[in-house]
Structures are given as structure tokens and as C-alpha cells.
Amino acid sequence: MRLALDTGALIKYLTRDQKAENNAAVGIIESADTIIISTIVLCETVGILKEIYGVLEQNIIGILQDLTTMPSVEIDRPLVEGGLSLLRSGGDFTIGVILAEADRAKADHFGSFDQRIAHVSKLFHFLSEE
């Protein structure tokens, strides 16, 4: 069986915080031949683990590395590696994914109102509100 996961199922599997839902998530995930995890689901998962569950970034890095090395897991590895790279250096996983996507698309510039991105992207172009 090829199984695509949403954020809720992945969170239940990783945190095991609600027994009934956890058992269902674990059962179906562990019975799948292939687990498909979209980059959007991973971005949401990182945010939820950090903000709601208080998981430290080092632990999130470990969780993501474990997921990416599982042979049954299908993910967009270059984008996830972009996110992991920025997360390892103290940045934001989702911004790393977005920058990796921009790089893959051969973008000439990266527009944002977030000046924190300037130090991690040579493509950065600040979008002024003026």
C-alpha cells in the first residue's frame, strides 16, 4: 500500500500523545509499503512540534533525519535538505525549503518582507511597504 500522510497523522505517529488516534496512525503507517510525506506536511509538522509540543530544534533535526533515511518514505529530498540545512544553522526549516524551491526554479531574486532572510539568501530582495 502507498500511503500519503497529512500533518495530523504524522504528528500522532511522532508524538504518540493520544492513545486511540496514535494506535490507528501507527497501525496504518507501519503497514504501508511506501509512505508519502509532502514538503508542506513536513513544514507544518516542524512548526507544530516546535510551537505546540515544545520540541527542541536539535530533536526536530533528528526526527527529520530519521524520516528522510527510512527507505519506505518518499519525500522531496532536495527541498527537505534545504530546510534541514537552514535549521541546522539556527534558521527556520520552512524558509530553507522555500529558498531551496526558489533555487531549484532558478529564481533570480527572492522577494520578502522578512529582512531576516537577507543573511541566508543571495537572492533576497526586500519588499518595502512604501
Q: Rounded CA gap, 33 and 11, in Å?
A: 19
Q: Are 49 and 71 in contact (CB under 8 A)?
A: no
pLDDT tens digit string along 73-92?
Answer: 999 999 999 999 999 988 89
pLDDT at 41 over 80: yes
pLDDT at 119 over 80: no
Q: List all residues 6 or more positions away from 59 whose beta carbon is below 8 Å from its beta carbon.
A: none
Q: To the nearest whole percent, how much of the chain has pLDDT over 90? A: 56
Mean of the pLDDT values across residues 37-49?
97
pLDDT at 116 over 90: no
More confident residue, 108 or 121: 108
Domain count, the chain: 1
Q: Give the lowest-confidence range in 12-26, 84-98, 102-116.
A: 12-26
pLDDT of residue 129: 57
Q: Are 6 and 36 in contact (CB under 8 A)?
A: no
Note down the domain range covering 13. Answer: 2-126
Mean of the pLDDT values across residues 30-58?
95
* Listed residue (91, 96, 60) closest to 81, CA to CA: 96
